[in-house]
Amino acid sequence: MALDFRARQAANQRKTILLLAVMACVMAAVVWAVAYYLGYTSIGVVPIAVFVVVGGSWWSYYASDKLVLTMTGARVVDAQQAPQLHNLVEEIALAAGLPKPRIAIVEDTAPNAFATGRDPAHGLIAYTTGILQLMDREELQGVTAHEMSHIGNRDTLVATVAATTAGAIALMTDLAMRIMWFGGGDRRRDNDNNNNNPIMMIIALVVMILGPLAALLLKSAVSRSRESLADATGVSFTRNPAGLRRALENLESNTTVVHSRSTALAHLWIESPLDNTGTNKLFMTHPPLKERIAALRQMEGETV
């Protein structure tokens, strides 16, 4: 069996680092554009507002498990309430070398699962009742290994960094536009003749307009990269690509969608509950299931 999961893990890690680096460059460009367009005397409110966004995002990261439990209606179950599921999760945790996460169940007929928690010591994996009824043990092992990978790879932290950066960019440009339209645009028609260069002003305006869109596209790309990484890392835990592959095939053939379809939660689920057709494809949080299944087949050494 040709298992190339380690190469895939490394490739997706590099891709994530590259995407986050590009996001940092977009952030720097937007900061420059806002400062250039408004002038340094009018920009003081921007870092204050960004600080509020960053603080709120990091609070959400710190309390991620509690927030997600509330938003999805998941309930934590102990080993007496779900002994077989606890045994399965403990088995994968041992293989992964990670602490056993808490386990929760979401009363929902749609097959799906998610992981959350700010670090492995505070990890939680939730399963819908639909996925527990639909899948056999081998498939649930694959799903659990995928979710355990998110915990081990600290994807909640990565998602928070990406979301915070994108949110800060959007807020800065929004504030800049408001200041410009409501009087702040008179900012510095003073002694700084260099900053009155019309070409540079146009460039700054274009950066402010396109920056938020670029950041959103990059945030979605980071999420897709982490999903691919979780698939490959999950296989490294089980050494059985077929389990996860069959699980994804089941999800592909099942059209039931979870009730918790919030955009804020879409990146958490093993299968996105959002519509990914048309222009929405640009903002997908997950690679298409067909691509993920094909990659797992390659790991099995099968002909695609």
Active site residue 147: yes
Task: Kindly indicate the confidence band of residue 2, based on its pLDDT and cuts at 50, 70 and 90.
Answer: very low
Among 70-84, 226-240, 289-303, the range scoring the smallest mean pLDDT is 289-303
Question: Does 279 score more than 60 pLDDT?
Answer: yes
Q: What is the pLDDT of residue 44?
A: 59
Q: Tell which wins on pLDDT, 46 or 67.
A: 67
Query: Is the pLDDT assigned to residue 193 strictly greater than 60?
Result: no
The reported pLDDT for the residue numbered 57 is 67
SS3 269: strand
**Continuous H helices in the chain:** 5-38, 45-62, 64-72, 83-96, 129-134, 137-152, 155-181, 198-238, 241-253, 289-300
> 8 versus 219: which is more confidently predicted?
219
Contact residues for 105 (Cβ-Cβ < 8 A; gap 6+): 74, 75, 77, 82, 126, 127, 128, 129, 132
Q: What is the DSSP string of 99-165?
A: PPPEEEEE--SS--EEEE-SSGGG-EEEEEHHHHHH--HHHHHHHHHHHHHHHHTTHHHHHHHHHHH
Q: Which carries the bigger pLDDT value, residue 10 or residue 106?
A: 106
pLDDT at 45: 57
Q: Residue 233: which of 79, 29, 96, 126 has the closest Cα? A: 96
Lowest mean pLDDT among 47-61, 137-151, 168-182: 47-61
Q: What is the mean pLDDT of the chain?
A: 85
- Mean pLDDT within 193-211: 80
Alpha carbons 4 and 9: distance in angstroms, whole number: 9
Is the pLDDT at 190 greater than 50? The verdict is no
Q: What predicted TM-score, i.e. pTM, was given to this entire model?
A: 0.85
Phi-psi region of 239 (alpha: psi -120 to 50; beta: other; left: phi over 0): left
Gap between the Cα atoms of 52 and 60, Å rounded = 12
The per-residue pLDDT for 131 is 97
Provide the percentage of residues in the chain whose pLDDT is more than 90: 48
* pLDDT, greater one: 135 or 69: 135
Q: Which of 91, 138, 139, 147 is catalytic?
A: 147
Mean pLDDT of 215-242: 94
Predicted pLDDT of residue 183: 59
Q: Are 261 and 197 in contact (CB under 8 A)?
A: no
